[in-house]
Structure 1
């Protein structure tokens, strides 16, 4: 087994095909195909199912990918260690967040101090954030809770209650505060399962003896916002994430002390020593706020 064969496999698996892997590695497609085929032949294992023009990982391929993710991530860490001075000048930082709202002021400060660093940000719920970090697909994550897993380092960014919100013309728009009992006959627009906001909201309602049943389930915070803005029903979000939207009216929930959302910056403990990760944590620590 050679390094070039593992590298070819890894890039095909992560880029989604032989031609894209060839482009990423500045090689020809036949060269990539040959390297992967030699790896499969030498160990008599099928790593990809070739279906027409698509390639799909087999079970063995998925297991190998988990290993090569660690292998090539370690390689990147080694390169970063050997070129620490350059890491803060022209490195790459990958962030996955359940809400980009909590990143804005940190990103502005980070970009001002390290203008040469390329930053990529993508969104996802709690499950996506944790999986992306475990799979080495991201360096940093933003979660709607302080994680209890031992292999994470974290920094509290903010803490705020979950609130309800409705469109300006909605019958509840004049309310300052709502109880769960007042929501039982309303059309509720809830996030997808796996959303920490939904989990905490439903747990607090059950503690009051009430089961919240969604009229509409929407994937993502922005989808919920747009549906509610159309006048369909009642949505929910943390106060820190509500922002400014003249189409919507925020309403406090009672009891809100049971529905506090702690937004945290997290990374795998083993990645904490990375210069870019350290720098981001440092700026986040100075910028963190708690919203009441």
Structure 2
């Protein structure tokens, strides 16, 4: 196995094709194809399904890509270490968050200090965020509650209660809150599978031996918001993430210990990636004094 073979495979897998990899590496497409073919032949493994239009990773190829992501990132870390004296930090920082408002202030400070970094911010639920971090598709994640497993370093941002919210014409004005058991009598709007809010509601229902099920499962917080605003049912969100809307009102849950702790996380093995280290330093400095 040669470095050039791994590099060829890595770029084909990342870019989705031999011609794009050849262009990125500035070598011919036949040379790229030969490097990958030799890697497969030497190790008796099929890494790509090939057809006329594109290539797709096999299961073995997906696992090798996970490893090469780490391999080439280590190479970048070595380069960064050897050139640590450079004043300006450059590159890309990919962040995936369940709610962006938890880190907007941190992002502003980070951009002021490191204008050479391009930041990409995307949304996802807890399951999607952890998958993106573990597959090297993002550097920083913001999730509800600490992630399971010991492979993540975390920084707690805030903790707030989970509340219900509903359209004005669904719940009578006389009602100002809900007991958790009462929710079984109402249509409920839940987030998709993989959402930490949904999981916490399900866990509390099991604890109180109540049968709760969603009338509607909606993908994403904004979709839930619009469905609830239409009067279709009762939704749930952490109080910190609720934005005032004249169409709806908040309804606290009086007998359920439900809260959401927002946590910033990154893979422990990536702690020395300069851009991750720089962002986490600013995040720690931005936290209010205890």
Same fold by TM-score greater than 0.5: yes
Question: How many residues align structurally?
Answer: 289
CA distance change for structure 1 residues 62 and 276 in 2, over 3 Å: closer, same or farther?
A: closer
CA distance change for structure 1 residues 197 and 140 in 2, over 3 Å: closer, same or farther?
A: same
2:193 corresponding residue in structure 1:
193
Deviation track 1:6-47 (CA, whole Å, cap 9, x = no partner) reads 112112222222233334334444433232222223333211
2:56 corresponding residue in structure 1:
56
- Distance in 1 between residues matched to 2:287 and 2:21, nearest whole Å: 40
Contact 1:158 1:288 in 2 (8 A): no
1:266 corresponding residue in structure 2:
265
1:154 corresponding residue in structure 2:
154
User: What is the CA distance between 1:52 and its match in structure 2?
Assistant: 3.9
Pairing 1:117-156 to 2, within 5 Å after superposition? 117-156=117-156
Q: CA RMSD in A?
A: 2.2
- SS where residue 143 of structure 1 aligns? strand
Contact 2:162 2:260 in 1 (8 A): yes
- SS where residue 184 of structure 1 aligns? helix
- SS where residue 96 of structure 1 aligns? strand
Contact 1:157 1:285 in 2 (8 A): no
Contact 2:77 2:272 in 1 (8 A): no
Contact 2:89 2:275 in 1 (8 A): no
User: What is the CA distance between 1:217 and its match in structure 2?
Assistant: 0.9
User: What is the CA distance between 1:160 and its match in structure 2?
Assistant: 0.4
Which runs of at least 4 in structure 1 moved beyond 4 Å after TM superposition?
Answer: 85-88
- SS where residue 108 of structure 2 aligns? helix
Alignment gaps of 5+ in structure 2: none
CA distance change for structure 1 residues 78 and 228 in 2, over 3 Å: closer, same or farther?
A: same
- SS where residue 170 of structure 1 aligns? coil
1:286 corresponding residue in structure 2:
285
Superposition TM-score, scaled by structure 2 size: 0.90
CA distance change for structure 1 residues 208 and 88 in 2, over 3 Å: closer, same or farther?
A: farther
Superposition TM-score, scaled by structure 1 size: 0.90
- Distance in 2 between residues matched to 1:261 and 1:181, nearest whole Å: 20
